[in-house]
Chains A and B, each alone.
Chain A
Amino acid sequence: MVQLVGSLRKELADSISTCKILVVGAGGIGCELLKNLVLTGFKNIEVIDLDTIDVSNLNRQFLFQKKHVGKSKAQVAKESALQFCPSANITAYHDSIMNPDYNVEFFRKFMLVMNALDNRAARNHVNRMCLAADIPLIESGTAGYLGQVTVIKKGMTECYECQPKPAQKTFPGCTIRNTPSEPIHCIVWAKYLFNQLFGEEDADQEVSPDTADPEAAWNPEETAARATASDKDGDIKRVSTKEWARSTGYDPVKLFNKLFKDDIMYLLTMDKLWKKRKAPTPLDWHQLENSAHDTSSGLKDQQVLDVWGYCQLFQHSVETLRSQLQEKGEGAELVWDKDDPPAMDFVTAAANLRMHIFSMSMKSRFDVKSMAGNIIPAIATTNAVIAGLIVLEGLKILSGELESCRTIFLNKCPNLRKKLLVPCVLDPPSANCYVCASKPEVTVKLNVHKTMVLTLQDKIVKERFGMVAPDVQIEDGKGTILISSEEGETEANNSKFLSDFGIRNGSRLQADDFLQDYTLLINVLHVEDLERDVEFEVVGEAPDKAPPPQTNQEEVNSITNGNKDSAQPSTSSKGYEAAKQPQTVTFPPP
C-alpha cells in the first residue's frame, strides 16, 4: 500500500518538476507565490509584471528591498528567488500581459496559469486567453484581511466573467465639473486637473464649468451680460487649460484665482443649478492671504488643515510640479501617482479647496489618498495565506483532481461557524455568459443617432466588454467594417454616428478580438432617451442587478464539506535534498 501511494506521489512530484507555470503579477501575492512554487519543487516558472517597485510595496513584497525601488518587479523577483533557489528556471518579463506578444500560443506553453493581479481589465484578459488556450487558471485576490482563491477551467467551471461584477464607479461629467456633492467628486476633479495641467490631456477629463449641462438648460449668450466673471474667461473652451497655465508660467496664484474664484463665479451664473442646491462660494487668494492665519506647522498626514493651509499646500505643490516638468524638458508630461508626494499634495490641496467651496467638510491627506488612489489596504499575512492556498489548489489540478478544487474565501476572523476559511464547490459555466458561452451574444441599449463609433470602440467594446484590439463589422450582408484593429484603417469613422452606417434598432454587430480568440455578437436596441450622462446600457445588467450576495457561501459550504474523500495531492519539495513529505494521496476514505 505504501508503495502504491508512494508511486502516485512520485507521479505528482515528476509533474511538478517538469511542468511549466505562468505567474501573472509579481506583487503582494506574486512574491509569496514564487517562493511557494520554488519550494514546492516547481522548476519552470515564467513571471510577468508591468510594474516597477515602490516604497509602499516593501511592507509585504518581501523579494524586494529598498535598493530595488524603481526597478522591474518581475526581474527583481526572479533574481531574489534565484538567490535562494538557484536550481529553478525562472523567466521574467517586464511587460503587460495584454501585449499581443503573449498570444494563445504563448499561453499554451503552460500547464497552469496563476493570476496574482490587482485589476479587472487584466483579469478579464487572462481569463479569455486561458479559455482560448484551454489552460486551467487559478484566480486570486486580497483586500486587507480578506482574500479569495478560485479555479477556472473552460467548460467545467464558471469563468471569471460569468457573474456580472459590480460596475466600477464612474461619475457623470456634469457632477464633477459643475455640481459636486461628495468629497469623492472633488477628488476626481483634482486628479483630472492634475492631468490637465501637468499630464496627458484627456477630453473626458475636463475640469472647467460644463455649459452643456442639460440640467442648467442655460444659454451662455443670454447670460453673458450678467456674468461679470466671465469676461476674463469668455474663451474658456477655446484655450486648453494646459496652454493657459503654461502662458502664466504656472503661477500658483493665477491658477488659484482662475480655478477657485473665476470658474466658481462662472458656475454661479448658471443659476438653475443652484435653485435646489447650496451654491458654491468662490475663494480669493489675496483676501485669504490678508485675513492673516497662523502659518500652519509641519504637515501631518492625518490632520485636516484650514483653508489657508491648503492654499499654501496648493502653491508649494504647483511650484514643485512646475520644476519637475521643467527638468523633464519641452513637451514632457507627468503621470499622477498616489505615492509621489508632490502629486498627492496637489490633489489633496485642490480637492480640499473645492470641497470647501462646495460646503463639504475637508479631509486629511491620508483620507484623500485612500480615495484618490483607490487604496486597498494590504499586508503580508493575508497574501501569505492566499498564496499558500493557491499552490494547494494547483497541486490538485496537477494530480488531475479538478473536481476537488474549491473557491476559498478567507475571513477576517473566524465566522459564526468558527470557520476562518470557507470553501465552496465550483459552479458550472453560466449558459448565457457573454464570454465563455459557445456563441456569446449581448444586447446594448443606445441611441444610434447620438453614439459615435469612437464611443462604441472605447467605452463599449474595449472598456465594457474587455477587448484589447477589436475588429467590429456590421452584419448587414455586406460585412461593412466599422472598426479595425489595424491602426488608422478606420479612423475616419471615429467621429461619425452609428446611424451614419445604417445601424438602427435591431442591427447586429460582430466584434472580434483576434488575440483573445473571442467573438461577441452585439444586438443594438435603439432608444431615444437615456438618463443624464448615460451613454449606453447592457440589457439584463441594469445597475440593480448586482452579483448575488456572497453570504450564501456558508450554505454551499455545509453541503460540500462532506465530500473531502477524494484523492488529495501531497506536496513535494525538491530542495537540495528532498524534504520529508506526506506520502499519501488518499485520505480520509468516505
Chain B
Amino acid sequence: MASTKASKEQKYDRQLRLWGDHGQETLENAHVCLINATATGTEILKNLVLPGIGAFTIVDGHTVTGEDAGNNFFLSKDSIGKNRAQAATEHLQELNSDVSGNFVEEGPDKLLDNDSEFFHRFTIVIGVQLPESTCLRLGSVLWSASVPFLVCKTYGLIGYMRLVVQEHTVIESHPDNALEDLRLDQPYAEFQNHIKSYDLDSMEKKDHSHTPWIIIVAKYLEKWLSEHNGQPPKNYKEKEAFRQLIREGIRKNENGVPEDEENFEEAIKNVNTALNPTKIPSAVEDLFNSEQCKNITAQSPCFWVMLRAVKEFVHNEGNGSLPVRGTIPDMIADSQKFINLQNVYREKAMQDAAAVSKHVESLLQSVGKPAESIPEKDIKLFCKNASFLRVVRCRSLAEEYSVDTVNKDEITSCMDSPDSEMVFYLMLRAVDRFYQQHSRYPGVYNYQVEEDISKLKACVNSLLQEYSLNVNIKDDYIHEFCRYGAAEPHTVSAFLGGSAAQEAIKIISHQFVPFNNTFIYNAMSQTSATLRLLELNGNLPFADLFSSPNLPM
C-alpha cells in the first residue's frame, strides 16, 4: 500500500525540513544493501526504512540464534532457527509500507562466487560485522564498480565505521554561516541600472526609510569609490569611515535630529560582510584543476560535466566569477522594493544558469550525448551551490591494508597521545587477525578468556611487526578486547545504527559532507574521533562543518 504524495508530505514533514523534496526523492529512489542483520545492522536499516528509502535487500546466510533474539529488536524468539535475512526483513518491512524489502539467504562470499556483479545494483552497500577477508574482497569489487561501501562494526564498547568510496560528490553541502553572494564589489549591468533607478536625495521620507540596505551600501560605495580613486574601503579604519559616510545619509528632522531609519542601521551593520570581495573559493578552484574536470568523456558523471560548464562560464561570460546565486537575505524594505531587488538577482541567476546550460549542452554534444541528459533544474541547483561544491575521496581498503602504502607516520604520531582513539583501530585490526587464525573472535567462550589473552597479544605483536609500527599497546587493551568476546551490546549498536544511517543518508542524497574516512566511538568515555589517517596525499580539501550545539534542551 503505497502512500499518496500528500500523505507522504505529512509523514515526512519533519525531515523534508532538513533535506527538501529533492533529497527525499533521492532517498525514495535508493536501493540499500545490508550485509548481516545483526543488532547493529537492523538498527542502521531501521533508521533508513523510517525516513523512506525506496528498497532494501538484506544479505545474510546466518540462522537466528537465541543470542540474536536477545539483543536485536527485529528478531523475536519465534524467529530462532529461521534465516536471519528473512526474519529481519519481515519485521523491518512493518515499519514503513512505502519501502520494498528483499532478502537473500546467502552470505556475501557465496554471492560473489556465483555472481560477481550482484552488488553493482545498489546505491550503497552497508557491511556489518564482516571478517577482514570478506571486507577486503567486497571492498575491491565495490571500489571498481564505484558503489559506496560503508563498513560498520560494534565490538564490545567500541563502535567503528569506515567509508570506502573512490569519489563522492556533494552539490548541497549546507555550510553554516555562508556569506551572501551580493556582488557589491563588481555590480553586473542589470544591478547597476537598478541602483541608478534610486535617488536617495529626492525620495519621500517613507521611501527613504524603506530602501533595502543593499541599495544603500551600493549607493554610498559608488560615492566612496569616486572619492578614493576607485579603491574600496579595505582596512578597519576605512570601513569605519565608510560606515560614517552611510550614517551621515540618515535623514534628519526639522530640529536636525537624525530620524530612526532601521534600513540605514542595517546597512551599517552589514558593511563588513557586504564588502567582501567576490571570489571563487579555493576548494572550488581545486576542483576546476582536477583531472575529472579537465577530461570530460561520455562516462563523466553529471557533476563533472556541470563543473566543467561552470568553469567555462567563469572564463567567458562570468568574467572570472561564479554564476550569481540569486538569493538575497531578508531585510527591512517595503514589499515592492524588496521584490524588485530580489528579481534583479533572480533574473541574473537565471541568465547565468542558462549560459552554463549552453556550455553543458555543447560539452554533452562533444562527447556524443544528448543535451537533455542533464535536466535544467539540476543545472540551476548546481549553479546556486557553486561556491559550496565538495568532493570527498576516500582511500581504498586495499591501500589501507597494504604494507607498502600504510600511513605509518600518522599512526605513530596519533599513538604518541595517550587518549587517541587510534589504539582501538589497531585493536580492531588485531582481533580481525585473531579471527583469521582461529576462525573465532577472542574471548567468545568464558573458559578461554585467559588463554585468548596471550593469543591476541601475539596477533597485536605480529600486526605491529608486519607494518613496522614502533608503538606500544598496553596489555589492558588486550585484556579488555578479550573480555568483549565480540559482543554487540544493544546500546552501542543503537548509537552506531543512528550514526551510520545518518552517513548513509548523506551519501544517498549527496547533501551534507560525509565523514572521511574512519570513525571510532568509545562508549566508555562517550568520546569519538574521525581518523583521516590512511589517506593519500593531495586529497581534496574537506570542509568540517562545525556548528556549536545550541539546543533548547
Point out residues on A near B: beta carbons under 8 Å: 1-2, 5-6, 32, 35-36, 39-40, 55-56, 58-60, 62, 65-66, 83-86, 120, 123, 139-148, 150, 160, 165-166, 276, 278, 301-302, 339, 356, 359-361, 366, 369-370, 375-389, 391-393, 395, 406, 408-416, 418-423, 549-551, 553, 561-562, 564, 568, 570-571, 573-584, 587-589
Q: What B residues does A386 contact at CB under 8 A?
A: 498
Q: Across chains A and B, which 7 residue pairs bring their CB atoms closest together, nearest first?
A: A575-B70, A384-B498, A577-B66, A388-B495, A385-B498, A564-B525, A571-B489
Q: What string of 1s and 0s marks CB contacts (under 8 Å) between B518-550 and chain A?
A: 010111111111111000000000001111111
What is the number of residues of chain B that contact chain A, defined by CB distance less than 8 Å?
106
- A278 contacts B206, CB within 8 Å? yes
Among residues of B, the one whose C-beta sits closest to the C-beta of A578 is B70
- A375 contacts B17, CB within 8 Å? yes
Q: Does B157 contact A (CB under 8 A)?
A: yes
- B14 contacts A388, CB within 8 Å? no
Pick the contact of B549 from A40, A86, A410, A414 — CB < 8 Å? A410
Pick the contact of A551 from B336, B493, B548 — CB < 8 Å? B548
Determine the distance from Cα of A582 to Cα of B431 in the docked complex, in whole angstroms: 14
Among residues of B, the one whose C-beta sits closest to the C-beta of A384 is B498
Pick the contact of A56 from B14, B73, B76 — CB < 8 Å? B14
| Chain A proximity of B18: nearest CB distance (Å) | 5
Q: Does B334 contact A (CB under 8 A)?
A: yes
- B47 contacts A381, CB within 8 Å? yes
Pick the contact of B17 from A165, A339, A370, A573 — CB < 8 Å? A370
Q: What A residues does B521 contact at CB under 8 A?
A: 421
Q: Does B267 contact A (CB under 8 A)?
A: no
- A568 contacts B489, CB within 8 Å? no
- B43 contacts A377, CB within 8 Å? no
Q: Does B296 contact A (CB under 8 A)?
A: no
| Chain A proximity of B83: nearest CB distance (Å) | 18
Q: Does B288 contact A (CB under 8 A)?
A: no
- B335 contacts A356, CB within 8 Å? yes
- B548 contacts A587, CB within 8 Å? no
Q: What A residues does B490 contact at CB under 8 A?
A: 36, 39-40, 571, 573
Q: Does B15 contact A (CB under 8 A)?
A: yes
| Chain B proximity of A505: nearest CB distance (Å) | 34
Among residues of B, the one whose C-beta sits closest to the C-beta of A302 is B21
Determine the distance from Cα of A423 to Cα of B67 in the docked complex, in whole angstroms: 32
Given A411-B547, A550-B550, A56-B13 contact (CB < 8 Å): yes
- Can you list 26 A-B pairs, Cβ within 8 angstroms, ordered by A? A165-B553, A339-B13, A359-B336, A377-B14, A377-B18, A379-B502, A380-B498, A381-B498, A388-B491, A388-B492, A413-B515, A416-B544, A418-B532, A421-B526, A549-B550, A564-B419, A575-B69, A575-B70, A579-B67, A579-B70, A579-B71, A580-B487, A582-B156, A582-B485, A583-B485, A584-B484
- B492 contacts A571, CB within 8 Å? yes
- A423 contacts B489, CB within 8 Å? no
Pick the contact of B491 from A145, A361, A376, A392 — CB < 8 Å? A392
The CB with the most chain B CB atoms within 10 A, among A86, A123, A144, A381, is that of A381
**Residues from 42 to 76 in B contacting A, C-beta threshold 8 Å:** 43, 46-47, 50-52, 65-74, 76
Among residues of B, the one whose C-beta sits closest to the C-beta of A60 is B50
Q: What B residues does A59 contact at CB under 8 A?
A: 11-15, 50-52
Pick the contact of B50 from A380, A412, A579 — CB < 8 Å? A380
Determine the distance from Cα of A576 to Cα of B95 in the docked complex, in whole angstroms: 23
- A384 contacts B443, CB within 8 Å? no
The CB with the most chain A CB atoms within 10 A, among B7, B12, B443, B495, is that of B495
Given A384-B43, A575-B66, A419-B528 contact (CB < 8 Å): yes
- B549 contacts A56, CB within 8 Å? no
| Chain B proximity of A183: nearest CB distance (Å) | 9
**Residues from 455 to 490 in B contacting A, C-beta threshold 8 Å:** 474, 476-477, 479-480, 483-490
**Residues from 363 to 395 in B contacting A, C-beta threshold 8 Å:** none
- B10 contacts A339, CB within 8 Å? yes
| Chain B proximity of A186: nearest CB distance (Å) | 13
Q: Does B292 contact A (CB under 8 A)?
A: no
Among residues of B, the one whose C-beta sits closest to the C-beta of A382 is B498
Q: Does B552 contact A (CB under 8 A)?
A: yes
Determine the distance from Cα of A348 to Cα of B17 in the docked complex, in whole angstroms: 17
- B549 contacts A148, CB within 8 Å? yes
Given A2-B446, A588-B480, list of 5 further CB < 8 A pairs? A147-B551, A359-B335, A361-B335, A380-B498, A579-B68
Q: What string of 1s and 0s marks CB contacts (under 8 Å) between B432-443 and chain A?
A: 000000000001
- A380 contacts B51, CB within 8 Å? yes
Q: What A residues does B206 contact at CB under 8 A?
A: 278
| Chain A proximity of B522: nearest CB distance (Å) | 8
Pick the contact of A413 from B449, B493, B544 — CB < 8 Å? B544
The CB with the most chain B CB atoms within 10 A, among A369, A420, A581, A582, is that of A582
Q: Does B501 contact A (CB under 8 A)?
A: yes
Pick the contact of B529 from A55, A62, A361, A419 — CB < 8 Å? A419
Given A359-B335, A385-B498, A579-B70, A62-B488 contact (CB < 8 Å): no
Given A276-B260, A377-B14, A416-B546 contact (CB < 8 Å): yes
Q: Does B194 contact A (CB under 8 A)?
A: no
Q: What B residues does A378 contact at CB under 8 A?
A: 14-15
Q: Does B494 contact A (CB under 8 A)?
A: yes
Given A278-B206, A385-B499, A139-B47 contact (CB < 8 Å): no
Q: Does B512 contact A (CB under 8 A)?
A: yes
Determine the distance from Cα of A421 to Cα of B547 in the docked complex, in whole angstroms: 12
| Chain B proximity of A23: nearest CB distance (Å) | 15
Among residues of A, the one whose C-beta sits closest to the C-beta of B174 is A412
Q: What B residues does A419 contact at CB under 8 A?
A: 527-530
The CB with the most chain A CB atoms within 10 A, among B69, B259, B524, is that of B524
- B69 contacts A577, CB within 8 Å? yes
Given A571-B489, A576-B69, A582-B487, A384-B156 contact (CB < 8 Å): no
The CB with the most chain A CB atoms within 10 A, among B479, B519, B522, B553, is that of B553
Determine the distance from Cα of A302 to Cα of B22 in the docked complex, in whole angstroms: 12
Pick the contact of B527 from A387, A395, A564 — CB < 8 Å? A564
- A2 contacts B529, CB within 8 Å? no
Given A579-B488, A587-B476, A406-B526 contact (CB < 8 Å): yes
Q: What B residues does A589 contact at CB under 8 A?
A: 474, 476
- B66 contacts A65, CB within 8 Å? no
Q: What B residues does A411 contact at CB under 8 A?
A: 546-547, 549
**Residues from 28 to 49 in B contacting A, C-beta threshold 8 Å:** 39, 43, 46-47
| Chain B proximity of A80: nearest CB distance (Å) | 10
Determine the distance from Cα of A314 to Cα of B17 in the docked complex, in whole angstroms: 25
Given A62-B46, A582-B489, A361-B339 contact (CB < 8 Å): yes
| Chain A proximity of B44: nearest CB distance (Å) | 9
Q: What A residues does B171 contact at CB under 8 A?
A: none
- A384 contacts B450, CB within 8 Å? no
Pick the contact of A577 from B17, B67, B505 — CB < 8 Å? B67
- A384 contacts B476, CB within 8 Å? no
- A384 contacts B494, CB within 8 Å? yes
- B335 contacts A561, CB within 8 Å? no
Q: What B residues does A576 contact at CB under 8 A?
A: 66, 69-70, 77, 80
Q: Does B9 contact A (CB under 8 A)?
A: yes
Determine the distance from Cα of A588 to Cα of B339 in the docked complex, in whole angstroms: 62
- B15 contacts A377, CB within 8 Å? yes
- B9 contacts A301, CB within 8 Å? yes
- A573 contacts B525, CB within 8 Å? no
Given A576-B66, A582-B157, A413-B546 contact (CB < 8 Å): yes
Pick the contact of B474 from A2, A84, A379, A588 — CB < 8 Å? A588
Q: What B residues does A375 contact at CB under 8 A?
A: 13-14, 17
- B17 contacts A581, CB within 8 Å? no
| Chain B proximity of A282: nearest CB distance (Å) | 15
Q: Does B117 contact A (CB under 8 A)?
A: no
Given A339-B10, A359-B335, A564-B525, A379-B69 contact (CB < 8 Å): no
Pick the contact of B70 from A86, A359, A574 — CB < 8 Å? A574
| Chain B proximity of A522: nearest CB distance (Å) | 26
Determine the distance from Cα of A380 to Cα of B493 in the docked complex, in whole angstroms: 14
